[in-house]
Structure 1
């Protein structure tokens, strides 16, 4: 059943694969974060899409070192069994200094197939 209205859920109710990615990404554990993605996944961040494992690995490595910031998971929503949104509050030395970002996840076979990060 696909509804257009996401349901608010507790952040700890997110699927394990999403939590694994978020925890690894926060810890700058590129290999751990990458293990959550489907080999042919896509990540869209800052308007650019990174396709496939090697492109996502490069994106993970670059995004870890580019800026210094704190990230806090502030909310989670379930759209349906394969689509989730995790909202994060970031503060740091990036342009603007403060932003709330929505991480829109699409899952396939227990792995992240698509991730779109946008305000």
Structure 2
């Protein structure tokens, strides 16, 4: 009986060695998402970039006083929510010697560079 069991085990081992290698796993693809530590899923779409109006207002004031050498520049007011996108154009209002004037802001590049026009007459 022992011989029969040993022969059966030997036959199984030999037949296992002769069989073909298992098929490689089939590659799969899954959608990519990011999950925060809290477990919420977030999109991998880049966040919308907008200008900080306070920084643009400071920049406009500097350009008007330092580059255009305009004196009596008072309050500068720029809108919020303006996208940082090359070619985007928006206006800021500037108080110059008690008069409200408009300057045009033209966004030069996606890094946030912009040009400030001379005030409208």
Hey, which of these two has a bigger chunk of strand by percent?
1
Short-chain TM bin: 0.3 to 0.5
Q: Which structure would you say has the larger Rg? A: 2
Give the TM-score normalised by structure 2: 0.37
RCO comparison, higher one (Cα < 8 Å, 6+): 1
